[in-house]
Amino acid sequence: MNTYLLPVFAIIIGVIIAFITKKQKSVGTKLLLAFGGAFLLALTLFDLLPEVYHHLGAKQTGLFIICGILLQITLEFFSKGVEHGHDHIHKEDQEFPWVLFIGLCIHSFLEGFPIHQHNNMVYGILIHKIPIAALITTFLFQSSYSKVQIIGFLIVFTAMTPLGTYISNNTVLAAEYIDIVNAIVIGVFLHIATTILFETGKGHKFNLSKLVVICLGISIAHFI
- pLDDT tens per residue, range 94-121: 677 788 888 889 989 999 998 865 668 8
Phi, psi of 188 (to 5 degrees): -60, -50
Of 19-23, 86-90, 161-165, the one with minimum mean pLDDT is 86-90
* Between 199 and 68, residue with greater pLDDT: 68
pLDDT at 204 over 70: no
Q: What's residue 187's pLDDT?
A: 95
Q: Whole-angstrom Cα distance, residue 192 to residue 103? A: 14
Question: What pLDDT band is residue 1 in, cutting at 50, 70 and 90?
Answer: low
Q: In whole angstroms, give the CA distance from residue 5 to residue 126.
A: 10
Distance CA 123, CA 112 (A): 12
Q: How far apart, in whole angstroms, are the C-alpha atoms of residue 189 and residue 185?
A: 6
How many domains does the chain contain in total?
1
Average pLDDT, stretch 68-95? Answer: 72
Q: Over the stretch 107-158, which tens digit does the pLDDT of each residue have?
A: 899 999 988 656 688 888 888 888 888 888 888 888 778 888 888 999 999 9
Q: Which of 75, 118, 119 is nearest to 99 (CA)?
A: 75
pTM value is: 0.85
Got the DSSP string for the chain? -HHHHHHHHHHHHHHHHHHHTTT---HHHHHHHHHHHHHHHHHIIIIIHHHHHHHS-HHHHHHHHHHHHHHHHHHHHHHTTGGGT-----TT--S--HHHHHHHHHHHHHHTGGGGT-TTHHHHHHHHHHHHHHHHHHHHHHS---HHHHHHHHHHHHHHHHHHHHHHHH-HHHHHHHHHHHHHHHHHHHHHHHHHHHHSSGGG---HHHHHHHHHHHHHHHH-
Q: Are 37 and 128 in contact (CB under 8 A)?
A: yes
Mean pLDDT of 7-21: 88
The type of residue at 182 is N
**Cα–Cα distances in Å, from 90 out to 27, 73, 83, 100, 201?**
22, 20, 16, 11, 21
pLDDT for residue 213 is more than 70: yes
- Residue 201 — pLDDT band, cuts 50, 70, 90? low
Range of the domain at 180: 2-18+27-223
pLDDT at 45: 92
Q: How far apart are CA 196 and CA 178, in angstroms?
A: 26
CB 130 within 8 A of CB 34: no
* pLDDT value at residue 62: 93
